[in-house]
Amino acid sequence: MYIEELQEALVDERPAAIEHGFATLVAWPDYDFLIGSTSDIRQVTLVATCEALANDFRPLPLEICDRIEDVTGLTIARTYGAGACVVLASWPTFAEVVAL
């Protein structure tokens, strides 16, 4: 996925692409890559992605949920919205994850 595709998905409000981008960022760099991104761009985009998913109740893939739980030490509901809220609440930790 190109970073521009995720940024366009945020503007166009395309949930499937935003969810994929969220998974890519949260599991960076093990899940997928965002071509054309820098650590600063990934950080800003992760915040925007989390904000866009805050009310998304679709199921979060287990591997992404596990990654969030491993990084934060918290148990979360397995939805994109819950994952996004925990990522934002644990921002300093996830800022470091996407800065790698």
Tens digit of each residue's pLDDT (9 = 90 or more) over 3-37:
899 999 999 999 999 999 999 888 877 777 778 88
Q: What is the mean pLDDT of residues 40-47?
A: 91
- Alpha-helix residue ranges (DSSP H) falling in the chain: 3-12, 15-26, 39-53, 62-72, 80-89, 91-99
pLDDT at 94: 80
Residue type present at position 73: G
pTM: 0.90
Instruction: Collapse the DSSP code of 61 into the 3-class scheme (helix H, G, I; strand E, B; otherwise coil) and give the result.
Output: coil
CB 23 within 8 A of CB 64: yes
List pLDDT tens digits, range 45-98: 999 999 999 999 999 999 999 999 999 999 999 999 999 999 999 988 888 877
